[in-house]
Amino acid sequence: MDKFIIKGGPRLKGSVDISGSKNAVLPIMAATLLASGPSTIRRVPGLADISHMSQLLGELGTSVSQGDSGMLRLEVTDESHSHARYDLVRKMRASVCVLGPLLAKRGIARVAMPGGCAIGSRPIDLHLRGLRALGAKIELESGDVIATADKLKGASIFLGGPFGSSVLGTANVMMAAVMAEGTTVIESAACEPEVADLAAHLNAMGARIRGAGTPRVTVEGVKELRGADHEVIPDRIEAGTFMIASALTNGEVKLSHCRLDDMLAVVDKLRDIGVIVERDDGGAVVASARRLEPTDVTTQPYPGFPTDLQAQLMTLLCLADGNSAITEKIFPDRFMHVAELSRMGANIRKEGPTAIVTGVKRLIGAPVMASDLRASAALVLAGLVARGETTVNRVYHIDRGYERIEEKLRALGADIERAPEE
Q: Which residues bind ligand UD1 (CB under 6 A)?
A: 23, 26, 93-94, 122-127, 161-163, 166-169, 190, 194, 307-308, 330-331
Nearer to ligand UD1, 215 or 274 (CB): 215
Catalytic residue list: 117
Nearer to ligand UD1, 162 or 420 (CB): 162
- Of 168 and 212, which CB lies nearer to ligand UD1 in the complex structure? 168
CB of 211 to ligand UD1, least distance (A): 18
Distances (CA, A) of 357 to 19, 178, 314, 349: 31, 45, 8, 7
In angstroms, give the least distance from the CB of 155 to ligand UD1: 17
What is the number of other CB atoms lying within 10 angstroms of the CB of residue 59? 16
Burial 115-137 (b: 16+ CB within 10 A, else e): eeeebeeeebebbbbbbebbbbe
Choose between 161 and 413: whose C-beta lies nearer to ligand UD1: 161
- Closest contact distance (angstroms) between CB of 253 and ligand UD1 is 23
Task: Between 125 and 187, name the residue whose CB sits nearer to ligand UD1.
Answer: 125
Report the nearest approach of ligand UD1 to the CB of residue 161 (Å): 4
Under 8 Å between Cβ of 166 and 190: yes
Q: Which residues pair with 74 in a beta bridge?
A: 39, 64
Phi, psi angles (nearest 5°) of residue 83: -115, 115
Q: How far apart are CA 152 and CA 158, in angstroms?
A: 17
CB of 353 to ligand UD1, least distance (A): 11
Q: How far apart are CA 56 and CA 62, in angstroms?
A: 9
Q: CA 315 to CA 375: how far, in whole Å?
A: 10
**19 DSSP assignment:** P
> Which residues are CB-contacts of 62 (< 8 A; sequence separation ≥ 6)?
32, 33, 74, 75, 76, 77
